[in-house]
Chains A and B, each alone.
Chain A
């Protein structure tokens, strides 16, 4: 039985809108064990990044966590006083983002930033911290680490900056790494290197990974389990094999069918008609119903709720519920 590293239940994040506060994240549940990778997938505006930020209480104002329970490494995140929360960020869970340049301090060497992260969480001397920083750089695959720790962020390539970010994130040996589109800004050959690194880190250290992405290929490469998000809600979850190989929710199916790489050459791609609704304008009933090819009578009126399928797969869909009942 492996150790549960993240448990989030009934997470609700709201922002003020025209008609009161709108839930951009609406009752989301997530759980990840040590050494496991969960991918949270969805298109822009679905609430996946806000979900990730909420886990470390990083939701920007005027947004706020309205309801829910979050436990990281056994600690009740929403009840923690600020000093304990600071220690949790980094040691319990660390986060990396799409654009490393916005997270790195441009006037400090990358080495100084790793050293800062190490000494924030542990009492070690400057020499020892620098030695550990160089080790971390070597670990994330930065060549010539003893020289590169004295480089400023602008002197590194995009792939090297993302590696430096990961080194900073690993400085306090977190139990959970939250990676928000970590390779979206990178070229495909560099992306392959970073995905390798994320795989290795989990296998070597038992770190858990929450990967936020819009790219189902990356999900397939890295994740053990998948949670698909649409319009602020999870709509399907399950193992990577089931969600990508035997998707049941019409939205997941539509996403997979609209990928050009999976379509026969020259054939028409399956379209999901219309566009993603924006927060505050979520449709009634099932939020996907205006775009759904399988929508029927109850869909515009009643929230479908979860239907449990096989081997932990579940889908939030009336049509799937009917199939299972018959």
Chain B
């Protein structure tokens, strides 16, 4: 969104390489792993400072696990998560705490993130206390008042409890709580998905303003492609544990390269009264991430599948602004040349 930034300002704040988070499915008396759910399987991306990357995909694609793996709320088995020059996965857990201050997460359900027995003042001040921000309680209270005012919550209500606020207000309290420790990167995991559209626009505007004022970087995890198109600079599309396509938002929406991205965009209901969407492109359901199909993981549902897709897993091939994990983007694939010619 900060279009004025020069190239030098926008070094990646976060680089993720080959991230792998598998969950064991245990069986037998010894509870040995009988199978693995490949929630995140060789995921790589980066985010430039002050910008927004949207991680999109349908339920079970692994997008939420990516967010949690970055903060080590779940432990990845492999890969690198380089945040401001440090590999978070190589650090001992004790060394994570100061870094967590710079990397905060906002979840979908604010009621589940806000302790119902704590007053709003303490909910917002808790992180400051943990990280030693503010000289004393008075100073912290002052800062809470500023933060609440910034997210448009009446600071006179700081003695109230979370249940006394509406859904949109609670999500703004969660944002204030995250901002209290002065993060550089905010992971928003479906942060506006539970909100009504008139309230969602209030929260999206707030996130947009905060980014401009504070130079925040966002990883926006969502299934809502309308929100993605509106606020993301870049988009990464996930399917069955892998990023199948990434690129700049406008390019990706204008000319999606991967057949899954194409199907996903085609499935979004049209809001133009003069035009309705065509019939569903993709048939059938997403296969289980515990037993992903061989070859390309999307081949069982892909309308453009051919023989190579069923046996060989595609690498990520370069596209105009990113990459696509599809043989149709492989310049040496004869089939791709054929399709282009026709």
Chain A contacts to B: CB under 8 angstroms: 43-44, 143, 157, 159-160, 187-193, 195-196, 214-218, 220-221, 240-241, 244-245, 254-256, 258-263, 265-266, 268-273, 275-276
Contacts and interface: CB of A to CB of B under 8 A. Distances in A.
Q: Is the interface of A mostly helix, strand, loop or mixed?
A: helix
Contacts of A214: 196-197
Contacts of B282: 189, 192
Contacts of A190: 58, 285
B274 A245 contact: yes
A189 B166 contact: no
B306 to A, nearest CB: 21
Interface string B270-282: 1111101101111
Which 5 A-B pairs give the minimum distances between C-beta atoms?
A: A261-B226, A217-B269, A260-B230, A258-B201, A187-B58
Given A190-B285, A196-B280, A254 B271 contact: no
B338 interface: no
Nearest to A273: B202
B65 to A, nearest CB: 17
Given A191-B267, A260-B229, 10 more contacts: A43-B196, A187-B223, A187-B286, A192-B277, A217-B269, A220-B269, A261-B229, A261-B268, A271-B198, A276-B199
A207 to B, nearest CB: 19
A178 B37 CA distance: 38
A237 to B, nearest CB: 15
B168 interface: yes
Contacts of A44: 196
Interface string B233-267: 00000000000000001100000000000011011
B198 A188 contact: no
Interface residues of B, number: 48
B59 interface: yes
Nearest to B228: A260
Contacts of B225: 188, 261
Contact of B230 (A220, A255, A261): A261
Contact of A216 (B264, B271, B274, B276): B271
Given A43-B198, A244-B273, A275 B169 contact: yes
Nearest to A42: B196
Contact of A220 (B199, B263, B271): B271
B271 A188 contact: no
B270 A269 contact: no
A265 B250 contact: yes
Contacts of B132: none
B10 to A, nearest CB: 16
Given A221-B269, A245-B273, A261-B230, A255 B198 contact: yes
